[in-house]
């Protein structure tokens, strides 16, 4: 049998991570990434890229923990290698603070991040409006550099990248054996998924190199996440809004909220405003589907709907998608189960 041909639709963090896991699990596959946008024009470019999981109500916690752990382990190894600065991956320590003690004092991911502990009274003095807090060290991806690093790795293994808008997955059936749908919020139109909705997020990227620690309000709305070059200040969560236009009133509100957590930000300079649409769903859609028309079949694997946590679970969900691709390949006529899955 000729090398199985796999198309990955989408070049955000999920599409690129999935393409990488497919090349690792099935080196004999010919993989092509098709996308209407590449970095720096994806939602993934707007993200803060912090590894703090978002909870998916429709997915068992042990599965979410596994996805997060696999992602943390993968990125930790990069952060601890000579590739770290090019890949934009670094460790960052800081605090998650709460106005009231949360019901769950120990989140499910507390033993995956490093050094998780309750904050001391002395540390809490930095946050006079907050009564409880957690200190830990996690990883952060600087998003555009990380996406470019993934693209470079893929090209080095022979993956083709083409700019193409796919209006119907079926259009790919004559060219590819398996199609992987990593279209993010684009899947709403591409596969008509009504369970997928946008949660608009506006953030500011500022120059404030003296800010070294992350600060996240436990409500998840206000955060200060220092990256290698810029600090991301957030944010908003506007369910159902498709608007990509920055709102000046929201910019001022975000800035004021962040300054109340970290007053030194009043001296921040060079403020850039970015907006992205989180591809949100009760659970990530990670499953196989067989499309059929006139007796002809197209094998599809879906991997989209990562909402507010795509960077945090990218590797875990990509590995599972690659495993599903392997299952599809094993069903192809003449296959001797090429994928090592
Ligand atoms: P995208 O990045 O949107 O990629 C989808 C790709 O599919 C794009 O390349 C697009 O061009 C392509 N595409 C779509 N439709 C088609 C089509 N029909 N044909 C061809 N190509 C198509 N997550 C974290 O874990 N940590 C964070 O700190 C964090 N911060 C965030 C802050 C903000 C403000 C926002 C908006 C999100 C944040 N997220 C964070 C969430 C994270 O950004 C998303 O979960 C993640 O980017 C989703 O990645 P994706 O690849 O599925 O989507």
Instruction: Measure 49 CA to ligand 1 centroid, in angstroms.
Output: 11
| Nearby residues of 283 by Cβ (< 8 Å), 6 or more positions away | 56, 57, 58, 59, 305
Vertex 33 angle, CA 229 and 290, to 5°: 130
Tell whether 337 is in a known binding site: no
- Phi/psi zone of residue 327: left (φ > 0), alpha (ψ -120 to 50 degrees), beta? alpha
Q: How far apart are CA 184 and CA 147, in angstroms?
A: 15
Q: Is the CB of 42 under 6 A from ligand 1?
A: yes
Q: Is the CB of 4 under 6 A from ligand 1?
A: no
Q: For residue 202, give the 3-state DSSP assignment.
A: strand
Task: Give the start-end residues of each E strand in the chain.
Answer: 5-9, 30-35, 89-98, 114-118, 132-141, 160-163, 178-181, 197-207, 214-217, 223-226, 231-234, 238-239, 269-280, 285-293, 296-304
Cα end-to-end span (Å), the chain: 18
For residue 31, count other CB atoms closer than 10 A to its CB: 27
Task: Give the start-end residues of each E strand in 164-244.
Answer: 178-181, 197-207, 214-217, 223-226, 231-234, 238-239
Q: Is the CB of 198 under 6 A from ligand 1?
A: no
Q: Is the CB of 232 under 6 A from ligand 1?
A: no
Tell whether 284 is in a known binding site: no
Closest of 208, 221, 182 to residue 96, by C-alpha = 221
For residue 170, count other CB atoms closer than 10 A to its CB: 15
Q: How far apart are CA 78 and CA 74, in angstroms?
A: 7
The reported pLDDT for the residue numbered 338 is 47
Q: How far apart are CA 265 and CA 260, in angstroms?
A: 9
Which residue's alpha carbon is at the smallest distance from atom 4 of ligand 1? Answer: 12
Please report, in tens digits, the pLDDT of each residue of the chain (341 residues total): 689 999 999 999 999 999 999 999 999 999 999 999 999 999 999 999 999 999 999 999 999 999 999 999 999 999 999 999 999 999 999 999 999 999 888 999 999 999 999 999 999 999 999 999 999 999 999 999 999 999 999 999 999 999 999 999 999 999 999 999 999 999 999 999 999 999 999 999 999 999 999 999 998 899 999 999 999 999 999 999 999 999 999 999 999 999 999 999 999 999 999 999 999 999 999 999 999 998 899 999 999 999 999 999 999 999 999 999 999 999 988 776 544 44
Cα torsion at 37, 83, 46, 223 (round to 10°)? 170
Q: What are phi and psi of 172, to 5 degrees?
A: -95, 0
The reported pLDDT for the residue numbered 336 is 62
Q: Is the CB of 310 under 6 A from ligand 1?
A: yes
Closest of 22, 36, 38, 37 to residue 177, by C-alpha = 22
Instruction: Measure 309 CA to ligand 1 centroid, in angstroms.
Output: 10
Which residue's alpha carbon is at the smallest distance from atom 34 of ligand 1? Answer: 201
Q: Is the CB of 67 under 6 A from ligand 1?
A: no
Instruction: Measure 304 CA to ligand 1 centroid, in angstroms.
Output: 9
Q: How far apart are CA 96 and CA 263, in angstroms?
A: 17
Q: For residue 37, give the 3-state DSSP assignment.
A: coil
Q: Is the CB of 315 under 6 A from ligand 1?
A: no
Contact (CB, 8 A) for 60 and 179 = no
The reported pLDDT for the residue numbered 179 is 98
């Amino acid at each position: 049998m000729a090398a199985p041909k796999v198309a990955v639709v989408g070049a955000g963090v999920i599409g690129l991570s999935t393409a990488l896991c497919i090349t690792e699990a099935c080196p004999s596959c010919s993989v092509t990434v098709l996308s209407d946008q590449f970095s720096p024009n994806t939602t993934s470019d707007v993200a803060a890229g912090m590894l703090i999981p978002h909870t998916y109500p429709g997915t068992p916690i042990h599965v979410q923990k596994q996805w997060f752990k696999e992602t943390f382990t993968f990125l930790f190894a990069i952060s601890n290698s000579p590739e770290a600065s090019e890949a934009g991956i670094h460790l960052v320590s800081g605090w998650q603070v709460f106005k009231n003690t949360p019901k769950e004092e120990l989140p499910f991911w507390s033993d995956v991040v490093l050094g998780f502990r309750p904050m001391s009274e002395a540390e809490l003095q930095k946050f006079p409006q907050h009564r409880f807090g957690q200190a830990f060290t996690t990883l952060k991806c600087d998003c555009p550099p990380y996406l470019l690093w993934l693209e470079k790795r893929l090209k080095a293994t022979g993956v083709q990248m083409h700019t193409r808008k796919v209006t119907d997955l079926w259009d790919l059936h004559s060219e590819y054996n398996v199609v992987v749908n990593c279209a993010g919020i684009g899947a709403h139109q591409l596969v008509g998924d009504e369970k997928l909705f946008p949660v608009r997020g506006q953030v500011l990227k500022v120059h404030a190199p003296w800010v070294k620690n992350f600060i996240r309000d436990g409500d998840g709305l206000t955060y200060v996440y220092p990256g290698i070059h810029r600090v991301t200040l957030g944010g908003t969560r506007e369910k159902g809004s498709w608007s990509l236009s920055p709102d000046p009133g929201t910019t001022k509100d975000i800035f004021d909220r962040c300054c109340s957590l970290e007053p030194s930000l009043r001296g921040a300079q060079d403020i850039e405003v970015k907006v992205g649409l989180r591809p949100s769903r009760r659970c990530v859609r990670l499953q196989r589907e067989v499309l059929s028309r006139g007796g002809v079949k197209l094998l599809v694997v879906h991997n989209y709907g990562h909402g507010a946590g795509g960077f945090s679970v990218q590797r875990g969900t990509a590995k599972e998608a690659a495993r599903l691709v392997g299952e599809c390949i094993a069903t192809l006529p003449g296959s001797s189960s090429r994928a090592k899955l």
